[in-house]
Copies of this chain bind each other. A is one copy, B any other.
């Protein structure tokens, strides 16, 4: 028999480097972002949602010497006009485009927040995906450090709003101008010719950003002759003398017990540098603006060890760190670490209009913060499934749907089993897969007597695991109530397990 020739079946798989999010993964993130949005809106920030697609030109990813602009973005060519389009790789490039495009309509300053996926055409790795969420807030067109202070205070509020208690986080603030002042004092920055020593300063910046990883010794090697790592790879050093390195390290260690003392120490360190002094003044202003609003050093501190890796910051930089301990994959306790960061940058709109527009902003690491909330037990509780109304009698579907409807009216998640009801065991297996806390059972006998059986599935599972035969027989996990008392009884059980 000749078989009809068929197209091969497509493979059902998520494309490489992407993932699917199910149930609580989606709703927990949405809830967290909604709380952050509320804080941002309260501060006068307005939502912005640009399309996922930008012209490659606007993204700044166009490489004139290659046919296909693919440096890290997903890009393709338009059919009609041959223009290259691409998925956005961050939220800053679209903001730059919007700030330039609508500059006559938007208020100045323009405060905006945005939340959504971005895409990177990179090699995926463990925990590294090619699509992930970003959550940014930026103020465009405000030159004053009051804008930076506002972002720091707002970040602090946002962390508390999502459930990170005060004391479990700290927002650290520093200023690139102070670092540059220190570089000037150390002789690796010449205000008259900023391009001089640029490479050296880059190495120093990257070195001190890795203080946590390499320790003081490693950082000093990188500032000096260079560093040979365990694998035998050599990283070129900045070639600073020991005295120069001492000056820079002095900056890293300038943090004192309170902001005033830190400021005083920094002022000493930048003596002779006008830029450095300006930076210290700004830090002092930020601290005083925040103090006046009640953001004390228990929440926001000046910390010269924060430098942020990115080259484009021009003034204040900040980082939110979670200070509670978690256990790492090797069972060792460690601090949770950074969940957000940002700073001031001034080149945002210039690419489009030629005009320098000052901007400052913060980006929250959405996945990191969700992981932190999970580590703190703030999200990811049990008993999130719905109550399942089982089907004993196929003809009485309307009654079962009415029971589920009654539960929902009382604010309880509830559904009727809609598979083949023949095998009751399958219905309970289904309820198990749904993580249901409770099953409702009503055969025709119970219906006639106006009662329902309520099965506490969490207790049931516990008994099945631990109980003696006597306990098992007494079956406290399943009991009968008049139908009119169903809602109250179910609510009682849900309250016991902290379910929604």
Contact = CB atoms under 8 A, between A and B. Distances in A.
Nearest to A28: B47
B408 A42 contact: yes
B41 A27 contact: yes
Identical copies in the complex: 2
Contacts of A288: 398
A467 to B, nearest CB: 26
Interface string A43-54: 110111111111
Given A150-B416, A288-B398, A351-B10, A26 B49 contact: yes
Given A415-B43, A418-B150, A292 B402 contact: yes
Given A20-B98, A109-B419, A408-B42, A292 B351 contact: no
Contacts of A121: 79
Interface stretch (A139-147, A232-240, A453-461, A469-477): A139-147
A197 interface: no
Contacts of A327: none
A461 to B, nearest CB: 17
A24 to B, nearest CB: 8
A397 interface: yes
B58 A119 contact: no
A405 B50 contact: no
Contacts of A58: 10-13
Contacts of A117: 52
A9 interface: yes
Interface stretch (A70-78, A163-171, A272-280, A479-487): A70-78
Which residue, of A119, A412, A416, has the highest number of chain B Cβ atoms within 10 A?
A416
Contacts of A101: 12-14
B419 A108 contact: yes
Which of under 10, 10 to 19, 20 to 34, or 35 or more describes the interface residues of A?
A: 35 or more
Given A53-B74, A289-B397, A27 B47 contact: yes
Given A12-B97, A351-B10, A401 B293 contact: yes
A47 B26 CA distance: 6
A57 interface: yes
B79 A76 contact: no
A125 to B, nearest CB: 14
Interface in A235-286: none
A378 to B, nearest CB: 18
Nearest to A47: B26
B46 A23 contact: yes
Nearest to A405: B293
B10 A401 contact: no
Contacts of A70: 79
A386 B109 CA distance: 14
Interface in A31-66: 34, 37, 41-44, 46-55, 57-58, 60
Given A398-B288, A414-B42, A30 B26 contact: no
Nearest to A420: B143
A375 to B, nearest CB: 22
Contact of A398 (B74, B109, B289): B289
A352 B8 CA distance: 9
Given A48-B26, A413-B41, A415-B111, A57 B11 contact: yes
Contacts of A425: none
A301 interface: no
Contacts of A147: 418
A399 interface: yes
A12 to B, nearest CB: 4
Nearest to A129: B51
A144 B19 CA distance: 31
Interface string A354-386: 100000000000000000000000000000001
Closest 7 CB pairs between A and B?
A44-B415, A292-B398, A26-B47, A12-B100, A18-B51, A142-B418, A12-B101
8 contacts: A20-B98, A22-B47, A26-B47, A30-B37, A43-B408, A53-B74, A74-B76, A109-B418
